[in-house]
Amino acid sequence: MSAQLLLPQLSLRAFAVWRRNFLVWKKLAIPSLLGNLADPMIYLFGLGYGLGGLLPQINGVSYIAFLASGTVCASTMNAASFEALYSAFSRMHVQRTWEAIMNAPVTLEDVMAGELLWAAAKATLSGMAILVVISLLGFVASPLALWALPVIFLTGLAFAALGLIVTALAPSYDFFMYYFTLFITPMVLLCGVFFPPEQLPPLVQAVAAWLPLTHAVALVRPLLFGEIPAGIVGHLAALLAVALAAFWIALTLIRRRLLK
């Protein structure tokens, strides 16, 4: 394996790719944001007020407040995943936008880094939108919630990088259903979005502890409740490690696909 694959040569041209994607998205920004809000809000109000009325408090807070903090992370994960899968695959395979960009003095590493940053930025907007809504509804207890913003961005980076791996392997859009069914959906159920992970069997808890969404929820939920999360360094390191390792794997796979 060449040194170029081991040490990707990144440059500030990645931000030009980011800007290109932003300018395209800006034309439909409002419908995009509303679309990202709709699904998590349905879960929040449907389960929070419906099911929540039948449940006692969880760790001293109402169920809807507990669910709201998890929804911020789940929305960030979904937004990053959709952008790194469907949108990136369209630009790579269907529209061949990546090939057109690389006719300029822009490398594949810059294109991939731009896609990663754009997916994370779009996911951050989604997470921020949910955060604003639940703040207005009174489910945020402390200004410490502002520290959730960098966690949201890092969560977006991690799931965007994982999504780019799947994009590199995908022969068509249908392939993404396997990723959502076998990876994304189980994480929503296992990582503390809807209920505390402590309710799960010990073996399942051990598996869930390795999933990136678990680390995101463990950081964001206490901040929204005005508490300092336990194990901050470990959770941040885990999300950063996922983002870096997954990006390197995605870049290696994309190189084999496009430059073979």
The confidence band for 174, taking pLDDT boundaries of 50, 70 and 90, is very high
Interacting residues of 238 by C-beta distance below 8 A, sequence separation 6+: 212, 215
- Is residue 2 pLDDT above 50, yes or no? no
Least confident among 136-140, 170-174, 187-191, 256-260: 256-260
| Backbone φ and ψ of 58, nearest 5° | -115, 120
What's the confidence (pLDDT) of residue 188? 92
Long-range contacts from 56-63, C-beta under 8 angstroms, 24+ separation: 58/195, 58/196, 59/196, 61/225
pLDDT in tens, 123-148: 999 999 999 989 988 888 889 999 99
Break the chain into its structural domains and give their ranges: 10-258
What are the C-alpha distances in Å from 18 to residues 14, 25, 48, 51, 214?
6, 11, 36, 41, 28
**Dist. CA 218–CA 209, nearest whole Å:** 10
The H-or-E segment that residue 81 falls in is helix 63-82
- The 10s digit of each residue's pLDDT in 25-36 is 988 888 877 777
pLDDT tens, 188-240? Answer: 999 999 988 888 999 999 999 999 999 999 999 999 999 999 999 999 999 99
Question: pLDDT band at residue 7, thresholds of 50, 70 and 90?
Answer: low
